[in-house]
Amino acid sequence: MKLEQLSITQLEERQLQLEKQYDAYKSAGLSLDLTRGKPGAEQLDLSNSLDGILQGFYLLQDGTDVRNYGGLTGIAEARELGGLFMDLPAKEVMVGGNSSLTLMYNYIHFMMESVWLKESKSNNETIKFLCPVPGYDRHFTICDAFNIEMIPVNMLDDGPDMDHIEKLLAQDASIKGIWCVPKYSNPTGTTYSAEVVERFAKLPTIAGDHFKIMWDNAYAVHHLNDQPDQLSNLMDAAREADTAESVIMFASTSKVTFAGSGISFIGLSEDNLKAFEKFLSASAIGPDKVNQLRHVRFLVDADGIQAHMRKHKDIIGPRFDMVDNVLNQHLGNRGIADWTKPMGGYFVSLNTLPGLASTVIKMAGDVGVKLTPAGATFPNGDDPRNQNIRIAPTFPSMEALRQALEVFVVCLELASIQQLLKR
């Protein structure tokens, strides 16, 4: 039954029950954490054979010794591998170090230095970026680091609100880019539809050549389901629309092998790649090619990636099922929260009644259950409706996850009743 259909007396009775439960949690000395979107130890163990996999063979077919300096674009075999993640030919892939975020940061730095700053000075305009919300906080941190103003755009069921995006671009030439997590988006789990991808390919015809689509495909192969979502190839659509120069793709093996010791990929046109390579050459002689080769040997090909990711799914799938089951059991049909049931990726996105996210997060924190700070999924930490909460179920054990969720649902229902009773 929906909470708002309950009488005042019924609400007060339920409030008393929940307060008792909440008080019991206070004295339980809990220390649980639902904030960390990182793989658990069992997942990391899946890749332990990376260690020693080269068995002393460091030479590539072309004679390159991967232990030595050089090769800023990455070894050919790893570029092929990156092409499998991003659906691109190897010649359009550069392989970086252990973090795609670093590549994103460096790419924005490159655009600032080479084009955007000059443009903004001569037009006396602030550089702006579109940010689909809720979104990934570290994208926002990169914008912050470069004083790029962020404009939120709502996420819909099939991707960001394209009507709004097209309108904004037509009105404001100082918008220089957009962040996207096009598959199993962080945190909503949304995969952009084919129509949305087509519209993305045409955006630079409105926004101009210097507009960049930062296509962060961090969850390209991270399915939680045997029928994976299909994402259309933006680069192909952009080639058709003659806008390929605006497409900058990213992926990594952070949540495939070792989160701290994986390899990362950037996908871009050959001309863009050359220019970016030149920019990077001031700061590096070459990436960790030994690790690149280890990943090639370990993952091998598309079948190897798929088989490996199935093992991840078997470990984390039950955690996502548990989140959905506990939320459904306690909050289903109560009219006080809605949440996503993602087909892939690392997060569940939940909305409370408007105005309650920070209260729920504080209540949970006060009894030892840490949740991602309110507003973290919005630029400048500002969730205008104060209702989005990101749940990351992969890292805790099943038992810790169950306990944390049980506390969470009590906090959420209690906060909702308190709000209803105030009306």
Ligand X SMILES: Cc1ncc(COP(=O)(O)O)c(C=O)c1O
Task: Show the tokens assigned to 327.
Answer: 């939320």
Q: Please identify which residue in 100, 193, 291, 416 interacts with ligand X, judged by CB under 6 A.
A: 100
Q: Give the nearest distance from C-beta 252 to ligand X in angstroms.
A: 3
> In terms of CB distance, is 25 or 265 closer to ligand X?
265
If the CB atoms of residues 211 and 219 are measured against ligand X, the closer one turns out to be: 219
When the beta carbons of 289 and 363 are compared against ligand X, the nearer one is 289
d(CA 80, CA 277): 18
CA–CA–CA angle 368, 373, 377 (5° rounding):
145
Which one, 99 or 233, has the nearer CB to ligand X?
99
DSSP code per residue over 91-110: GGEEE-SS-HHHHHHHHHHH
CA distance 98 to 26: 40
Q: Which stretch binds ligand X (CB under 6 A): 94-102, 120-128, 230-238, 325-333?
A: 94-102
b/e per residue 2-17 (b: at least 16 CB within 10 A): ebeebeeeebeeebee
Which CB, 33 or 119, lies closer to ligand X? 33
- Which of the stretches 97-105, 285-293, 327-335, 383-391 binds ligand X when contact is defined by CB under 6 A? 97-105
Task: Give the nearest distance from C-beta 259 to ligand X in angstroms.
Answer: 6
Binding segment toward ligand X, per CB under 6 A, in 86-94, 99-107, 119-127, 329-337: 99-107
Q: Are 162 and 169 in contact (CB under 8 A)?
A: no
Single out the residue of 47, 73, 186, 269 in contact with ligand X (rule: CB under 6 A).
Answer: 186
Q: How far apart are CA 184 and CA 192, in angstroms?
A: 9
To the nearest whole angstrom, how small is the minimum distance from the Cβ of residue 200 to ligand X? 17
Is 99 an interacting residue with respect to ligand X (CB under 6 A)? yes
Written as six digits, the tokens of 360 are 């729920």
Q: What whole-number distance in Å separates Cα of residue 77 and Cα of residue 71?
A: 12
Least spacing, CB of residue 186 vs ligand X, in Å? 4
Among 73, 232, 246, 252, binds ligand X (CB under 6 A): 252
What's the rounded Cα separation, in Å, for the pair 294 and 66? Answer: 10
Q: Is 137 a residue that touches ligand X (CB under 6 A)?
A: no
N-to-C CA span, the chain: 19
Shortest CB 118 distance to ligand X, Å: 29
Binding flag, residue 327, ligand X (CB under 6 A): no
Q: Show the DSSP H helices in 46-189 as ranges.
A: 76-86, 100-111, 117-123, 137-145, 162-171
Smallest CA-to-CA distance from 408 within 334, 350, 355 is with 350
Of 246, 261, 264, 388, the one binding ligand X (CB under 6 A) is 264
The verdict on 190 binding ligand X (CB under 6 A) reads no
Smallest gap from residue 109 Cβ to ligand X (A): 15
Residue 100 or 246: which CB sits closer to ligand X? 100
Nearest distance in Å: CB 392, ligand X: 9
Report in angstroms how near the CB of residue 122 gets to ligand X at its nearest: 33
What is d(CA 330, CA 269) in angstroms, rounded to the nearest whole number? Answer: 49
Residues forming beta bridges with residue 3, ordered by sequence position: none
Q: Which of 107, 116, 129, 136 binds ligand X (CB under 6 A)?
A: 136
> Three-class SS of residue 350?
strand
Shortest Cβ 52–ligand X spacing (Å) = 23
Of 323 and 414, the one with the shorter C-beta distance to ligand X is 323
Sign of CA dihedral 207, 103, 238, 178: negative
- CB of 142: closest distance to ligand X in angstroms? 10
Residue 215 interacting with ligand X (CB under 6 A) = no
- Report if residue 96 touches ligand X, rule: CB under 6 A: no
Question: Which of 18, 25, 37, 394 is close enough to bind ligand X by CB under 6 A?
Answer: 37
Applying CB under 6 A, the site for ligand X has a residue count of 12
Given 50, 72, 78, 101, the residue binding ligand X (CB under 6 A): 101
Please report, to the nearest 10 degrees, the dihedral formed by the alpha carbons of residues 361, 365, 370, 372 taken in order: 30
Q: How many other β-carbons are positioned within 10 Å of the β-carbon of residue 88?
A: 23
What is the 8-class DSSP label of residue 352? E
- The rounded distance, in Å, linking the Cα atoms of 135 and 147 is 18
Q: Does 218 bind ligand X (CB under 6 A)?
A: yes
Q: Whole-angstrom Cα distance, residue 191 to residue 186?
A: 10
Least Å from the CB of residue 209 to ligand X? 25
What is the Cα–Cα distance from 133 to 232, expressed in whole angstroms? 21
DSSP 3-state of 205? helix
Decide if residue 76 touches ligand X (CB under 6 A). no
The contact set with ligand X (CB under 6 A) reads 37, 99-101, 136, 181, 186, 216, 218, 252, 254, 264
